């Protein structure tokens, strides 16, 4: 199979030196890419700014903003059999990027924001027979929010985690996830290494595909 995987955060520029982002380290997305490649699949990894080693044997696409990531996914979606959206894409961005550094004594403290593209919704029309996998990092109503995302975005799988749980948040090497599928299946995984989580996800995708 050909996997298209996104990883890491996006950065939405406020001015030449500041940006809005989130705490994603990219570790889960990179673990998925490495595991898919280890299983013998072809992998294209679209990554936001991270501090991780570039995986061997994997096609890399580097992006910064949500718009960049959308364009990269759109450019590569037709060549893939499976899309895994593991990136933590920023939901908002400044209405305008100031061309020069905002000065403390002249900035009124009000930053107007607008929504970024919802990548999975934007490319829903390209799903066809491809496997689409999303992630849901939640702090409350985990099951409700995950299933809503699974259904509204037409996904085959949604991988949900409560980021308030120790060992399941951003920047750590472990995760605690529940995998919901479009057939009503639920798989709960205990706190395990992200590589092991990735292995389980890839196995479920391959099983679903065959």
Q: What angle do CA 70, 73, 75 make, to 5 degrees?
A: 105
- Classify the C-alpha dihedral 61-63-66-71 as positive or negative: negative
Instruction: Give the ranges where the chain is alpha helix by DSSP (H).
Output: 27-38, 66-76, 119-122, 142-152, 194-209
Residue 21 DSSP class: -
Residue 98: active-site member: no
CA angle (103, 106, 111) in 5-degree steps: 80
DSSP lists the bridge partners of residue 15 as 18
Query: Phi first, then psi: what are they for 186, rounded to 5°?
Result: -135, 125
- Annotated catalytic residue: which of 22, 76, 145, 193? 22
Q: Which residues are catalytic?
A: 22
């Amino acid at each position: 199979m050909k996997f298209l995987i996104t990883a890491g955060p996006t950065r939405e520029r406020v001015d030449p030196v500041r940006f809005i982002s989130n705490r994603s380290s990219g570790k889960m997305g990179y673990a998925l890419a490495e595991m898919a490649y280890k299983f013998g699949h072809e992998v294209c990894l679209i990554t936001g700014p991270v501090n991780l080693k570039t995986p061997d044997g994997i096609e890399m696409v580097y992006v910064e903003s949500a718009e960049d990531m959308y364009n990269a996914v759109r450019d590569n979606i037709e060549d893939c059999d499976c899309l895994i959206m593991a990136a933590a894409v920023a939901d908002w961005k400044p209405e305008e990027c100031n061309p020069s550094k905002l000065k403390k004594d002249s900035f009124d403290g009000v930053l107007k924001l607008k929504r970024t593209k919802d990548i999975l919704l934007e490319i829903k029309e390209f799903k066809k027979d491809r496997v689409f996998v999303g992630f849901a990092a939640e702090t409350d109503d985990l099951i409700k929010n995950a299933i809503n995302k699974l259904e509204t975005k037409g996904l085959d799988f949604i991988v949900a985690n409560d980021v308030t749980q120790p060992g399941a948040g951003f920047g750590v090497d472990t995760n605690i996830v529940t995998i919901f599928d479009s057939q009503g299946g639920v798989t709960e995984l205990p706190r395990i290494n992200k590589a092991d989580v990735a292995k389980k996800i890839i196995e479920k995708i391959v099983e679903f595909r065959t």
